[in-house]
Each structure stands twice: as C-alpha cells, then as structure tokens.
C-alpha cells in the first residue's frame, strides 16, 4: 500500500509540473506574438503635444530597420511630381473605352531611375478633376501602370492645364497630365476611400468637410480648403509646430496620432527615411481631422498600452484577406506600409 501511495504522489507531482510548464509555454508564446521589431513610445513628451493633437512615435530596432533597407531610397509622390520622366495623367484610353470609363483610374508613368512610392490618400491636382489615390503602389524605374482613384472635385470635367498654358494649347493636348501634388486627404475621407470604396460616399465626405470649414469653391473640390482663411491659419500653426519634430530621429518608422480620447490612426513605413517623407504629408491628414472634429487630448496611458499591443499583434499576425488588403501593403516580399485607421 505504501508503494502504491508513493507512486500516486509521484504521478500527481508530474502532472503539476507538466501543467506549470504548459502555462509557462503559453505565456511565452503570447509574448512572442507581440515581438515585432518595434514599439510605440508611450512616454510623456510635451514636444509632441499641441492643441487637439498628440503624436506617439513608433521606434524600431536596428535589425528591423536593416531588414527594410530596400525602402530607404524610395521617393514619395510629392518628390516624384518634380522628377523628370515621372507623371500622372488621365488614363490613356488606347482606343478601348471613352472618357467616362476613366474617372476612377489614372495612368502613372515612371521613366526615371527612381523608385516611387504612392499612398492611398495622396491627392493630385489638375487633369480633368482633382483625385485621391485609392491604393498604395510602388512604381519601379521605367514602368507604366494604372492606379485606382476617386474624384474629390464634383463640379469639373475639363482639363485645367499647366500654369500659363493657352486655351489653344490645352485644346491640342493629347495627354492630360496632373500639375501638382496637394497632400494626404483627411483621415475621415481616407477611411471612406479605403473601406467604403464608393464615389458618392467620397463626394459626400468631401462636401461635409469643406462645408464645416467654410471652404467653398465653384467645383466643390477638396483643395478648396486653401480658400478658408480660418482653416489655413489653424492648420499652419499645427504644421509649424509638428513638421520638423522627426528631422533628427534615426529610429522612428511610424506614429500613432490621438485627439481627445480617441486614436485617429496609425501609419508605419518600416524605414526611417520613408517615414520622414510621409510624416510631413500625413500631418495634413491628421491636422485636418484635429481642426474639424478634434478635442483636447485626454487619452489615458492604460488605453494607449492596450492599443499599442493591438497594433503589434495586427502587424505580426495573418489577418483575413480583406483586412490584409486594408491595412498592409507589400512590395517585393516586404511590408512597406501598415495602417490602422
């Protein structure tokens, strides 16, 4: 009997040890899931807090940055508009469809030696009407492609032309090129573009935002925000405060942006060089939201910690096909842009 009792004690002890080890393994796996090569810097930094907006930098490890070194020299769309050999035009019909079929597509041509990164939310001016890009794209040297877009100018379908171009020159043009880059559209409209993907919804969102900010125009264009004195004064104060904050950083690859008690969004570009370029144009998007609907920042640290872990999980794990397309843009096997809007 003593022998049986002893064997029973050994059996129970082994079960306890096995259970303990299993629990430890589960905790280890949970921690591993959150290891993604970066972290959100949640430390208090008054330098990144102004009026209705707060920016939390996303800091990457040296190994993470090295893994994404191929993105270091990408040009963004703002730069590309000034590169000889790069242009965006109304979609070339090639004799296969009329103009009415080209509203939601543009043609991008890169004859240069640079690699160009285009982001969903970029706004281009000119052509037959101002547009917002509806997808991310990397355009290698000497390539031609069509890109999905939505119209953000409801009342125009005629070519504006280049500055100082005569009416006769406009009439004789065979390629209707876009003359300028504006910036990244407001975050609210970025969501509409990415998730609803409906032209009427985009027009409605543009109309609501420009109306709220007293930015009127005869063609109902998003870029009429420049006509609103109150809006531009406020926007320029925000930009002046924030736009140079990342100039000296060499390990920041993204940001979480907050207004009031809510996260407006997250954008990660995986290499500091690309992030610095996108940071300045993305500020326009977040600042527009802060001016239009923002409130004084009062988000709690515990809430930000939970959100930070969610970002790391979503970045790391395989999402559904739809979510993957909405949040993760890959090129040449590498994740270029992760967004959480």
The rounded mean pLDDT for the chain is 86
Task: Give the pLDDT mean for 311-320.
Answer: 89
Q: Is the pLDDT of residue 163 over 70?
A: no
Residue 10: predicted pLDDT: 43
Residue found by looking up tokens 């959480």 in the block: 340
**Model-level pTM?**
0.85
Residue 320: predicted pLDDT: 81
pLDDT category, 171, cuts 50, 70, 90?
low
pLDDT in tens, 9-34: 444 444 433 333 333 333 333 333 33
pLDDT in tens, 288-307: 999 999 999 999 999 999 99
């Amino acid at each position: 009997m003593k022998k049986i009792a002893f064997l029973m004690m050994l059996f129970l002890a082994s079960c306890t040890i096995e259970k303990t080890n299993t629990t430890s393994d589960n905790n280890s796996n949970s921690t591993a899931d959150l290891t993604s090569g970066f972290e959100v810097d949640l430390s208090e930094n008054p330098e990144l807090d102004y009026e209705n907006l707060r920016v939390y930098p996303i800091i990457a490890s040296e190994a993470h940055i090295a893994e994404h070194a191929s993105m270091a020299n990408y040009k963004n769309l703002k730069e590309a508009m000034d590169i000889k050999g790069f242009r965006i035009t109304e979609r070339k019909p090639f004799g296969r469809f009329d103009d009415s079929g080209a509203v939601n597509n543009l043609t991008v041509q890169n004859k240069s030696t640079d690699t160009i990164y285009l982001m969903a939310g970029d706004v281009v001016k000119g052509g037959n009407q101002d547009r917002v890009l509806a997808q991310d794209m990397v355009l290698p040297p000497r390539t031609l492609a069509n890109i999905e877009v939505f119209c953000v100018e409801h009342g125009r379908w005629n070519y504006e032309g280049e500055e100082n171009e005569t009416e006769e020159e406009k009439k004789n043009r065979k390629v209707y090129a876009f003359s300028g880059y504006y910036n990244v559209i407001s975050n609210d409209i970025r969501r509409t573009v990415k998730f609803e993907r409906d032209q009427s919804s985009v027009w409605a969102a543009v109309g609501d935002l420009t109306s709220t900010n007293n930015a009127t125009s005869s063609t109902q264009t998003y870029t009429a925000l420049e006509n609103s004195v109150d809006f531009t004064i406020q926007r320029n104060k925000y930009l002046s405060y924030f736009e140079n904050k990342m100039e000296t950083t060499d390990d920041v690859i993204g940001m979480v942006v907050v207004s009031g008690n809510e996260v407006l969004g997250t954008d990660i570009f995986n290499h500091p060089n690309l992030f610095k370029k996108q940071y300045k144009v993305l500020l326009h998007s977040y600042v527009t939201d802060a001016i239009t609907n923002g409130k004084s920042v009062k988000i709690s640290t515990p809430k930000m910690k939970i959100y930070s872990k969610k970002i790391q999980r979503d970045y790391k794990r395989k999402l559904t096909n739809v979510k993957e397309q909405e949040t993760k843009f890959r090129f040449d096997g590498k994740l270029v842009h992760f967004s959480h809007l």
